[in-house]
Structure 1
Amino acid sequence: MKTPFDLRFLTTFAAVAEHQSFSKAATSLGVAKGTVSRTIAQLEAELGVELLHRTTHHVALSTAGVVLYERTREHLRALQTSVANLPELEEEPSGLLRLTCSPDFGVLVLPAIITGFSRRFPNVRFDIRLSTDHEDLVREGFDLAIRVATGPLKDSALKMRRIGRGTAAFYAAPAYIARCERPQRLLDEQHSWVLHAGVIQLLKLDIDSVQFCVDDFFLARDLMRDGVGVGMLPTFIAQSYLDEGLLEEVSLQGAPEMFGDLVMLYPSSGQTPKKVTAFRDFLIEALKSETQL
């Protein structure tokens, strides 16, 4: 005898046993009476026994039906209670939200967003990892990642949602401009250049023309502040130094307009958890006020 693997069989059987009626069971389950009848017939065929005695006006459990109901009733109730009490099924988002993003975004932008979100949804806990690596979200168990899109999404296991627009520009310290004059062209040999390795690759520049190649925008910003050269920074990273007069924006001939979509990536399998959709919507709304992202 094969064991039925479809829990709907037992759920339907339990409803009929409790109501002693196909129509009342159908109403409680929110399905058609014919669906209940066919499901019971499938279960009986699967088990090879008659579970219900049917008459025109009455339904009663057979001996086998009584045994099956008594053995499964408490287990079914426990399963239903467990599923109903899952955090994601509660009205308010809750549970652990695991996210990853780049260190610069995580340090400069994320704190205010996390603080505001936590005040609105205090039952959500966070596990935040700052990294420049593009982790496998599914394998590593992350709920979402915040990244700058560099092209079409290749991983079919992920969904992508645009949450903002990022801009970048070229900057230099006032002291550097006073000493070396304002640069006019990208990679002008008369100037020293401070560029992120990712930018060099993206713009397909000659790395031999770059005196300072770095893999961290904070390091590039501080080198530029100290007057070692001209460089490119995302606007949100440069903004505080601009406000303090530590950097100035420079326009360069031949330099492409620098911008990109800020996106949120999350696994595509199954229903998106409430904690993820709530954080996504909050993040989009919060970033609308970031005029210099």
Structure 2
Amino acid sequence: MDLNQLALFVAVAEGRGFSSAAKKLGLPKSSVSRGIARLEASMGVQLLNRTTRTVALSTAGAALYERVSPMLAALRKSVGELPELEDAPSGELRITAVVDWGTSVLADVITRFTARYPAVSVDLHLDNRVVDLVAEGFDAALRLSVTPLKDSSLRARRLGPLALRLYAAPSYLARKGMPRHPRELEDHAWVAFRSGLPLRLVGAGETVLPPRRGAIQCDDMLFMREALRLGGGIGYLPTMLAEPDVAEGRLVNVLPKWSTPLGSAWFVSTAERHMPRKVAAFRDFLVETLKQRPLAT
């Protein structure tokens, strides 16, 4: 049974005529009349008694109206109360991001976002793998990539460039001295990030390959930061992760005129025709935040 035809029937019954129903629904009177005729044909019963002046419910029509009208009203109410149809963003927002992002950027962003939009709750999953947003039921992901994202089934917004810089603890530099050129890094203890990326130091019109191995190797930036804080040597960190320590004196930017460009950060969501308000609001809030606190400095 066609719900649109039932809606036409309820409108005719409540308006006691085809003209009033057509006016209420914004349809031609002929369309309403044809819809009612199709409904009666599909049910095999006459629902309305028609005269030249009046339209009245038949016995079957009255019984159908009594049963269907409350259901259609409840359905309209339920649809109208969907979170994404409300004026303000609301509902649960499920996000996935790499661990470094969650620790260094998203804790602050999400706390302030939920304060601005109290009707939104955020469920954050930190995972360094590439998550299938659709299959695993996520609204959005924060991804880091050295190349532009090409998955046409997703919608991506570039948030800004990423860069790595060299850092060390003041205690280490007091013992070993501050290098003045990347070639001098060979004489220093090196905390290495295990990565297949071709990390190159760029600056002063030169490109230099730094040491690839060190006394300490790992695949987690948070471990790297802690090892550097404790004086383990010199190593790479994303500026967004290291700058708070620089401001508080726990780390020093080594060779500040040299950096390693590392692609971009992206906000990725499913390519729905209409982006849910909660997703668009979080994207815009994140963009607003990163304008004030760029990822690469």
Alignment deviations for residues 38-62 of structure 1 (CA, whole Å, 9 cap, x no partner): 4333333433444334445443333
Structure 1 residue 236, shift from structure 2 partner? 0.7
> Which residue is equivalent to 2:191?
194
> Which residue is equivalent to 2:203?
none
Q: Which amino acid in 2 is paired with 1:268?
A: A
SS in 1 for 2:103: helix
Aligned match of 1:250 in 252, 255, 258?
Answer: 255
Higher mean Cα deviation, 32-41 or 10-19?
32-41
Q: Which amino acid in 2 is paired with 1:285?
A: E
> Which residue is equivalent to 2:198?
203
Q: How many residues align?
A: 285
Shift of the 59–119 alpha-carbon distance from structure 1 to 2, 3 Å rule, reads same
Q: Distance in 2 between matches of 1:133 and 1:193?
A: 27
Structure 1 residue 113, shift from structure 2 partner? 1.9
Contact 1:192 1:210 in 2 (8 A): no
TM superposition score normalised by structure 2: 0.80
Once the two structures are superposed, the pairs formed by residues 110-259 of structure 1 within 5 Å of their partners are: 110-177=106-173, 179=176, 182=179, 184-185=181-182, 189-197=186-194, 200-203=195-198, 209-211=212-214, 212-245=216-249, 246-250=251-255, 257-259=260-262
Shift of the 12–192 alpha-carbon distance from structure 1 to 2, 3 Å rule, reads farther
Shift of the 186–268 alpha-carbon distance from structure 1 to 2, 3 Å rule, reads farther
Q: Distance in 1 between matches of 2:3 and 2:154?
A: 29
SS in 1 for 2:292: coil
Contact 2:165 2:253 in 1 (8 A): no
Alignment deviations for residues 169-227 of structure 1 (CA, whole Å, 9 cap, x no partner): 23344554562662744896544443333xx2222799x94223322111112223334
RMSD, aligned CA: 3.1
Structure 1 residue 77, shift from structure 2 partner? 1.3
For structure 2, list consecutive stretches of 5 or more residues without a partner in the other structure.
201-208
SS in 2 for 1:210: coil
> Which residue is equivalent to 1:61?
57
Alignment deviations for residues 235-279 of structure 1 (CA, whole Å, 9 cap, x no partner): 1111022223422232698x7x41433222222346322222222
> Which residue is equivalent to 1:17?
13
Higher mean Cα deviation, 261-270 or 117-126?
261-270
Aligned match of 2:43 in 41, 44, 47?
Answer: 47
Higher mean Cα deviation, 122-131 or 160-169?
160-169
For structure 1, list consecutive stretches of 5 or more residues without a partner in the other structure.
none
Once the two structures are superposed, the pairs formed by residues 241-280 of structure 1 within 5 Å of their partners are: 241-245=245-249, 246-250=251-255, 257-269=260-272, 271-280=274-283
SS in 2 for 1:203: coil
Alignment deviations for residues 56-92 of structure 1 (CA, whole Å, 9 cap, x no partner): 5443333433332222111111111222222222222
Higher mean Cα deviation, 188-197 or 15-24?
188-197
> Which residue is equivalent to 2:286?
283
